[in-house]
Each structure stands twice: as C-alpha cells, then as structure tokens.
Chain A
C-alpha cells in the first residue's frame, strides 16, 4: 500500500534562510508526487508535481523539489524563505490505477518563519 511520511512535524527557519522539507514515500512503481501548501483556514494549493522525466521540478512561489528514487524521497526546497511562506505543507502521492482520484497525504509539516 502507498504511504507518505513527513518526518518533521514542525520546522522553524529565519526569514531569508534556506528551507528543506522532507518527504518519503512507499510505492512499488514510480509514483506521481505532489507538494501542497495550506494556509490557516484555507484549502490546499498545489506547489509542484512530479510525474516523470527530470527529477528536479520547479514550482510556484520559488519552490523546487527533487525526486530521488533510490531514497524514495521527494524533498521540497526553497533557497530563501519569506515570512509569507509560513503555512502547513503536505506531500502527497498518487498514481494507483486501482485508486482513481485518491491522493495519499503525509501528516504535514508546519513551517514557522522567524523575522
């Protein structure tokens, strides 16, 4: 069965510092991978996605993620964090032909940004 693990429940970084949020997945084949962001009281906004091809994918708001098959990871990075990046971040996996329309989410990582 597919699963997603986000090892860090809460991360605090200073504004302007770099950021890396970890995501590990469990899936037999090459999965479809996503990162979403959720601000308080809001829905989820898609940051980026990986389906195939180049393992480094670029997303919105200056985020990027790297797919590493050997480590079953899909970590999210940003070179310089802005105060507006404070939110909850979710990694998700899809692509299971027997499970259309279903994304499996990690538990989320809450990002706090210090001024």
Chain B
C-alpha cells in the first residue's frame, strides 16, 4: 500500500497570508490527524478527522482549521499567518480510533 502523502513538501509564505496543506491517507484509513512540530514545542496535536467530521481538536487558535473529504483526504488551513506558525506540519492516518498512526513526510512551512 502507498503511504501517507502530503503536498506540498515545502512552502514559503508571508505574514498575514493564508495557506492550505493537503494530506492523502493510506488507502482504507478513515482517521486523519494533524500535528505541528517545532523545535521549541515539539509535536503538538492540532485536530483529528474521521468520516468528514472533526472529532478532536487540540489547543490551537481558530486560525487553524481543517476538513476531510469523502475519500478521506484531508486539508488543513491556516489563515492570517504569523511568524510563529513556521513549523513542520505532519499528517497521520490510522485505521482504528486509538491505534497506531502512520505519518506522512510533512510539509515544511516557513513564514517570513
């Protein structure tokens, strides 16, 4: 099976802009989780989607949002970008609610 794919791999944006990141889960996986990874804060959970519904959300401002499509592909959006949003954004998919997650290669977002 193909692994989790994320596009784009790299992005450079300017403060105030918005950005959309895409994630395609492993075939058959219906749960998609998003994480932000920074050197200072480590890996932090953003949100999880299952069957097009957000089931869980981490402690991030409303500028961070996401959605999931009927084919389980997911997107996350960050509006009004801030310098502190520079990070590696990782997507993970899982076939079960509480099981292991399989990660994509991430999208490296740089905000200038």
Task: With CB as the reference atom, state the residue of chain A lying closest to B3.
Answer: A43
A97 pairs with B98, CB closer than 8 A: yes
- Residue count of chain B within 8 Å CB distance of chain A: 28
B42 pairs with A95, CB closer than 8 A: no
Within 8 A of A (CB), among B27-83: 31-33, 42-43, 45, 48-50, 55-56, 58
B45 pairs with A102, CB closer than 8 A: yes
Within 8 A of A (CB), among B78-112: 90, 92, 94, 97-106, 108
Q: Which residues of A sit under 8 angstroms from B21, Cβ to Cβ?
A: none
State how many angstroms separate the Cβ of B90 from the closest Cβ of chain A: 6
B56 pairs with A99, CB closer than 8 A: yes
Task: With CB as the reference atom, state the residue of chain A lying closest to B91.
Answer: A43
**Range class of the A interface residue count:** 20 to 34
Q: Cα distance A42–B105 when bound, in Å?
A: 5
Q: Cα distance A73–B89 when bound, in Å?
A: 28
Task: With CB as the reference atom, state the residue of chain B lying closest to A105.
Answer: B43
State how many angstroms separate the Cβ of B91 from the closest Cβ of chain A: 8
A102 pairs with B105, CB closer than 8 A: no
B103 pairs with A100, CB closer than 8 A: no
State how many angstroms separate the Cβ of B16 from the closest Cβ of chain A: 27
Q: Mark A18-52, 1 if CB is under 8 A from B, else 0.
A: 00000000000000101010000111111001010
**Residues A100 and B106 in contact in the complex (CB < 8 Å), given A32-B99, A105-B43, A108-B42:** no
Q: Cα distance A77–B17 when bound, in Å?
A: 45
Q: Which residues of B sit under 8 angstroms from A46, Cβ to Cβ?
A: 100-103
Q: Assuming A102-B56, A103-B101, what are 15 further A-B pairs, CB within 8 angstroms?
A: A32-B98, A34-B100, A36-B103, A44-B90, A46-B102, A46-B103, A94-B98, A100-B55, A101-B31, A101-B33, A101-B45, A101-B97, A101-B101, A106-B42, A108-B42
- Give B contacts to A, CB under 8 Å: 4, 6, 31-33, 42-43, 45, 48-50, 55-56, 58, 90, 92, 94, 97-106, 108
